[in-house]
Amino acid sequence: MAHLEISDLITAVEPRTGRRLPVRRAEVIQQLLASGDGRAARIVSRLPVDRDDVLDPQAVDTLLISVHTELQRLSEELRIGERLVHVLDPLFTAIRATTPGTGPYRLVDVGCGLGYLVRRLAATHALGPDVELVGVDLDAALVGEADRLARAEGLGCRFVHGNAFDLPEAATVYVSTGVLHHFRGPALADFFHAQAASPALAFCHFDIAATGLAPIGAWVFHHARMRHPLGRHDGVVSARRAHSDATLLRAAATPGIRPLLYEPRGSVNPFCTTLRPVIGVRPHLEAPLRQALGRSARRLVGPEHLAEATA
């Protein structure tokens, strides 16, 4: 049966405009029960509704902001920001080397949530003054909170409510963390095709490594760190929904893009829910990227590596 995350079901928006749509609690519960997840159905049954059984949007927004605040703490503990810079800094070095004098460059965080990574990059100036930082999300409440936090912290970044691929300004690099597993079937390939069809030079998407013990590690970590049952539930389901290395590389292999995986499954600790990125670059960028990575370039593999490993 399908593994469903509660947070995917309790909000709904029109994909192109981001306009919020009503969600009926009974329909969400029915979906969860049909998937065999009675525990998730009980969590949703406790969420407030109006007289038409529509989930209270304000209560849902408050809950999701709370859960994402806890996710920000997890990102800090897992040092996701530093791991992102470890890959992005060489990537922008390669871009500058191959397109000198064409900056400023623009990094767009797809599904940014509360914008922790964009805000961290802005606070640390890790990518340099020629990189504009933009976070985009279809959830207006999360984007609003991200913008509020950035202004309170006096940071040079911005947040947009909408579709990351419909921005008026072209992205140079698309990034995300914990987003890929939300795309299932053809939607995953469509996600990568949208970036290949854009003027972007590269993408770098971090998600959970699909190891056999990842759900166990996720259960331990989220039960120790997350307060709300929704956060605990969705954290474990995320690990169960993680895409395999081969699935990611196949989906990312779109025309005009060289797909690469950093730290493939065989090199990660199977006792942890480890995030690692799938990277896509325009072919002319692969060699300068490997040069900029230095010794770390040996952790970077393409589809042919997986073919050899399974031969």
Higher-confidence position of 283 and 273 = 283
**pLDDT over threshold 80, residue 308:** no
Band (311; pLDDT cuts 50, 70, 90): very low
Q: Which of 253, 247, 248, 277 is nearest to 196 (CA)?
A: 253
Instruction: State the pLDDT at residue 266.
Output: 55
d(CA 116, CA 71): 9
For residues 136-163, average pLDDT: 96
Under the banding of pLDDT at 50, 70 and 90, the label for residue 265 is: low
Q: Which residues contact 227 (CB under 8 A, 6 or more apart)?
A: 66, 70
CA distances (Å), origin 248, targets 25, 180, 208, 290 = 33, 9, 11, 20
pLDDT at residue 93, as a whole number: 97
Which pLDDT does position 136 carry in this prediction?
A: 97
Res 101: pLDDT = 78
pLDDT of residue 100: 80
Q: What is the mean pLDDT of residues 245-259?
A: 95
Comparing 10-19, 40-49, 195-204, the range with the smallest average pLDDT is: 10-19
Asked whether residue 54 carries a pLDDT value surpassing 80, the answer given is yes
Whole-Å CA distances, 281 to 192, 252, 254, 300, 303: 11, 10, 11, 12, 14
The mean pLDDT of the chain is 90
CA distance 17 to 43: 29
- Locus of tokens 């969400």: 28
How far is it, in rounded angstroms, from Cα 278 to Cα 262?
Answer: 6
pLDDT for res 75: 84
pLDDT surpasses 50 at 121: yes
User: What average pLDDT does this structure show over 136-148?
Assistant: 96
Residue 18 above 90 pLDDT? no
Residue 222 banded pLDDT, cuts 50, 70, 90 = confident
What pLDDT is recorded for position 1? 57
* Assigned token pair, 230: 């929704």
Q: Check residue 79 and give its pLDDT.
A: 86
Rg of the Cα atoms in the chain:
19
Query: Where is average pLDDT lowest: 179-183, 223-227, 307-311?
Result: 307-311
88-97, 104-113, 123-132, 219-228: range with lowest mean pLDDT? 219-228
H-state helical runs in the chain? 6-9, 25-34, 38-45, 57-77, 80-98, 116-124, 140-152, 186-196, 214-225, 229-240, 245-252, 286-293, 303-310
Confidence at residue 294, expressed as pLDDT on a 0 to 100 scale:
96
Per-residue pLDDT, 80: 87
